[in-house]
Amino acid sequence: MGGTHVGAAKESPYVRDIYGYEPETERRNARCKELEIIPATLAEIMNNSSIKLVYIASINEVHVPQAIMALRAGKAVMCEKPMGMSLEEAAELIEVQKETGGFLQIGFELHYSKMYQQVKEWIAEGKIGTPVNIQCRYYCCEFHKKNTWRSNSTGSFLIGEKLSHYLDLQRWWFDEPIESVYSLSSPNVVEYFKHRDNHQIMTKYKSGGVATLNFIMYIAESYKADPLQEILAKQADDGHYLQYHVCGTKGAIETDVFRRRIRRWEFTDGEESLESKIVETITFDAKEDLKWFHNTHGQNMRVAELVALGLPPESPAIDAYETMKLCFAAEQSEEEGRVVTF
């Protein structure tokens, strides 16, 4: 992820010099040489007044300490999620942002992805009426591997690290407060995971709307690179799913990553029953995959522009904090076997 941030900074017309930090000196020098950037210690970065923006792509445990350090040093901060290892830690980061008045944005790059922006646009235009039900089905293969930091992480690691993106989208589209969360998890299939390998998270919103996220970490066929097959074309029918169905009072929207497709239905009052018709379909080319469903590069480019122009974050940290509240509430619900109210 550090390399992804560097790539965006290199492309930005608003960035002149790029510095890289890694705690191990030898590794830092080697990585900076590889990326063709300037190696620096953490102190050198924080004390250099010419450095205006810090991208944090460190291990999860130091996201908040480094973000706080940077904000107090007068830097703008773009920090990867999770926003904190606990809700208390995330709240502390919000307080420091308020105290310093600094620029702080958390890496929810799906807000910059064309597929999900299209959903937001159609909702805002009233194309599906009032959203009432959002379903997300996310099934994948186990790609974290044995004895890695991901497989060795504990607690509800997958909720904060991975599923926070997809819970955040549900919040973004409903655009209203959450009333309650109920989450379930069955016994693990992936025995070497120190965290849960599945989550069924149900969220109720203030107006009565409901969202679900059904995630399974192991059902899809394990990916083996095949030069004769395009990756998403293969995965589209081997058990991989990343779909949303956003249902409203006047229509519905489907996003489908593996089919590179977004569709919109329109509901009408027929003589005998409600009539549903697909009225719009958008597809995209493989070359544009990341722009459509995981636009980290576009997000990072935009953050550099915002900071250079003296503009505030487009996705405020306090909004990311609301998503973190949802993530930790889902974990609490699973641990205690009950509905968690807000």
Q: Contact 180/339 with Cβ under 8 angstroms?
A: yes
The pLDDT-based confidence of 98 (bands split at 50, 70, 90) is very high
Q: Using the 3D structure, point to which of 59, 88, 106 is the last residue of a domain.
A: 106
Residue 234 has pLDDT above 90, yes or no: no
Nearest Cα neighbor of 41 from 62, 20, 11 is: 20
Query: Mean pLDDT, the chain, as a whole number?
Result: 95
Q: What is the CATH number of the domain that holds 11?
A: 3.40.50.720
Q: 124 and 85 in one domain? A: no
Q: 167 and 39 in one domain? A: no
The pLDDT-based confidence of 89 (bands split at 50, 70, 90) is very high
Q: 200 and 71 in one domain? A: no
Structure tokens at 55: 């991208």
Nearest Cα neighbor of 7 from 30, 27, 44, 36 is: 36
Q: 215 and 89 in one domain? A: no
Domain-embedded: residue 314: no
Q: 71 and 19 in one domain? A: yes
pLDDT on residue 224? 81
153-157, 187-191, 234-238, 249-253: which range is least confident on average? 153-157
Q: Using the 3D structure, point to which of 54, 82, 106 is the last residue of a domain.
A: 106
**Higher model confidence: residue 149 or residue 228?**
149
Q: Contact 54/81 with Cβ under 8 angstroms?
A: no
The pLDDT-based confidence of 17 (bands split at 50, 70, 90) is very high
Beta bridge partners of 282: 262
Residue 46 has pLDDT above 90, yes or no: yes
Q: 228 and 95 in one domain? A: no
Number of domains present in the structure of the chain: 2
Sequence-separated (6 or more) residues with CB below 8 Å from residue 210? 132, 133, 134, 202, 203, 204
Domain-embedded: residue 241: yes
pLDDT on residue 237? 87
The pLDDT-based confidence of 220 (bands split at 50, 70, 90) is very high
Domain-embedded: residue 13: yes
**Residue 92 belongs to domain spanning:** 2-106
Q: Contact 197/139 with Cβ under 8 angstroms?
A: no
Domain-embedded: residue 211: yes
pLDDT tens figures, 147-180 = 998 899 887 788 998 999 999 999 999 999 999 9
Q: 15 and 37 in one domain? A: yes
**C-alpha neighbours within 13 Å on the C-beta side of residue 213:** 25
Residue 229 has pLDDT above 90, yes or no: no
Q: Contact 19/45 with Cβ under 8 angstroms?
A: yes
Q: 64 and 158 in one domain? A: no
pLDDT tens figures, 201-219 = 999 999 999 999 999 999 9
d(CA 162, CA 154) in angstroms, rounded, equals: 14
Nearest Cα neighbor of 129 from 10, 242, 209 is: 209
Q: 286 and 215 in one domain? A: yes
Q: 147 and 94 in one domain? A: no
Q: 123 and 54 in one domain? A: no
Q: What is the CATH number of the domain that holds 115?
A: 3.30.360.10
Q: 280 and 147 in one domain? A: yes
Residue 233 has pLDDT above 90, yes or no: no
Q: Using the 3D structure, point to which of 60, 79, 106 is the last residue of a domain.
A: 106
Beta bridge partners of 281: 263
